[in-house]
Amino acid sequence: MDSDLPLAGIVVVELGDSASAPFGGQVLAALGAEVWKIERPGSGDSSRGWGPSKWKGEGAPYHALNRGKRSICLDIKDPAQLSTLHALIEQHADVFLHNLRPGSAGQYALDPDSLRARKPELVCCEVGAFGHLGPYNTRPGYDPLMQAFAGIMSVTGEEGQAPVRAGVSIVDFGTGLWSVVGILAALFRRARTKAGATVNGSLLETAIAWMTINLCNYAADGDLGGRWGSGVPIIVPHRAFPASDGHIIVSAANDRLFARLADALGHPEWGTDPRFATNAGRLANRADIDRLIGEVLSQNTRAHWQAVLESRGLPTAPVQTAAELFHHEQARALGIFGKPSEDEVETVQLPLSFDGKRPPPLHSAPGIGQDNAALQRLIPGAAVSER
């Protein structure tokens, strides 16, 4: 690992599967930690089998979530191999990160109380589903379940249509990030106190956190929100409109910007029309002003309108596909895509820079158990599984 990175010298043992804990482990690796990933014999991490895209015979999502790690293959149901895992944690780890099925860690003495009794300075981070407290604390869960349970789906999509899940795994990735925040805070405190910590996070708590404004609105006056498609309930216009070759986001967050938008679209009279001159009026007449704006924008391309609106200082952005973003000059200028060598797939790098420099691309995601031998050199006699 790069010795200049913030977490250089920190060792993480990750018993993670699917997305949340593995994403957290990858962020720690990108920050410089040495991450030992524990995988089950045979199939390994579930994301190795995800589709439809493949890279080197495995699901591309596995490569997106597990770069920069080592992989060792252990069957924790086997006492000898479980003993190997305990030895790795007790002798070498600063952090143990897992998302085992809720309630199962204790069966293997991998719960925080058991681990920290033997190693008080350990930071143990448990990533759960419904959380570590309450009547649902042992239930399993996945990203779409939490988007449903926490109400995210109730405010996503178009009014009157079926509930819609966000198109990216905001709960899984968010939970991975919250686990990293908790781990970093615990390591910071440990530097002062020499004591470890138990960090608990969960998919449900992350989903609830994303509903912060909606829940505050409900607590204040009973407002349930609603579905506004690409728009929002508090500002008009602030949504996607169809151009001739796709959609473009148009935002006029105050009356001054709206008057400027009306002029840019060739209808300065909208800026003084009593129905539209104020945001309150536009909210009351949302359907009318959205229709009028849409009729104008549909007559030309996204690029045309982006040039026109940006020249007037108006916030706008095209609704892009993954391909358009991947090749866009702005994304490329940021250097956020990278690969460790020419024979690897290009993936998203850490969305942070330090002193103007982004951490270098992580090495490729490991094969199942490719570091078994390295573990046996580190812990002589360690029992491992065949890949």
> Considering 45, 94, 111, 172, which one is annotated as catalytic?
172
pLDDT, averaged across the chain: 96
Write the pLDDT tens digit of every residue in 275-309: 999 999 999 999 999 999 999 999 999 999 999 99
172 among known catalytic residues: yes
pLDDT score, position 103: 86
Q: What is the rounded radius of gyration, in angstroms, for the C-alpha atoms of the chain?
A: 25
Write the pLDDT tens digit of every residue in 345-359: 999 999 999 999 999
CATH of 11-210+336-378, one of 3.40.50.10540, 3.40.50.2300, 3.20.20.100, 3.90.105.10: 3.40.50.10540
The first and second tokens of residue 214, run together, are 């909606």
Domains 11-210+336-378 and 238-318 share a fold: no
pLDDT score, position 89: 98
Write the pLDDT tens digit of every residue in 176-226: 999 999 999 999 999 999 999 999 999 999 999 999 999 999 999 999 989
Q: For the ranges 1-5, 163-167, 168-172, 191-195, which has the lowest average pLDDT?
A: 1-5
CB-based contact 72:369 (threshold 8 Å): yes
**Domain extent listing, the chain:** 11-210+336-378, 238-318
Residues ≥6 apart with Cβ < 8 Å to 365: 62, 63, 65, 66, 67, 69
Q: Which CATH class is domain 238-318?
A: alpha beta
pLDDT score, position 3: 76
Residues 354, 355, 357, 359, CA torsion sign? negative
pLDDT score, position 1: 56
Angle at 169 between CA 166 and CA 171, to 5 degrees: 95
